[in-house]
Amino acid sequence: MENEEKDLNENNEEIIKAETVSKEEYDELDDRYKRLLAEFENYKKRSQKEKESIYGMITGDVVATMLPIMDNLEKAAEAKTEDTQYQDGVKLVARQFQEALKGLGLEEIETLGQKFNPEYHEAVSHVEDSTKGEQEIVQEYRKGYKIGNKVVRHSMVIVAN
């Protein structure tokens, strides 16, 4: 009987050791799983941000190539002609083109009366005018545009004082 009791104690000790090892293995596997899951979530977020960034850059590049076309359409719409139907047609096309670019998120940068900001404006000239404020924009040579916070084209302006 003593041998049986001894065998039972040894078996119990082996079972307890096996449970301890299994618990340690389980904890290790659980920890690895949680780390992998967290890494995967971070990867998904990073991939989404990169995708949005790339889309914004491509959209900005495409819109930037179209801005000279829009400038020329606006000039053509303002040109004097006796054919009012032709002029109305050009104005309509210019408006449609502007709306299409606005649909892509294009916004005009405000200039006249604003304080000069090198992030949005490019100063091409400087004038002294006592009626204007410090670094105030008094004239716009070329419109500037942005998509969100990204400047597609800086406004070319004349700055006072």
Q: pLDDT tens, 43-72?
A: 999 999 999 889 888 999 999 999 999 999
Q: pLDDT tens, 23-35?
A: 888 899 999 999 9
Question: pLDDT band for position 133 (50/70/90)?
Answer: confident
CA distance 19 to 34: 22
| Mean pLDDT lowest among 60-64, 86-90, 93-97, 131-135 | 131-135
Residue 124 carries which side chain, given as an amino acid letter?
V
**Residue 52 parent element (H or E):** helix 2-78
CB 155 within 8 A of CB 109: yes
CA distance 57 to 150: 9
pLDDT for the residue 155:
97
Say what the pTM is: 0.68
Domains by residue range for the chain, with CATH? 108-161 (2.30.22.10)
pLDDT for the residue 2:
66
Token pair of 101 as six digits: 């670019």
User: Between helices 2-78 and 84-103, what is the axis angle to 10°?
Assistant: 160
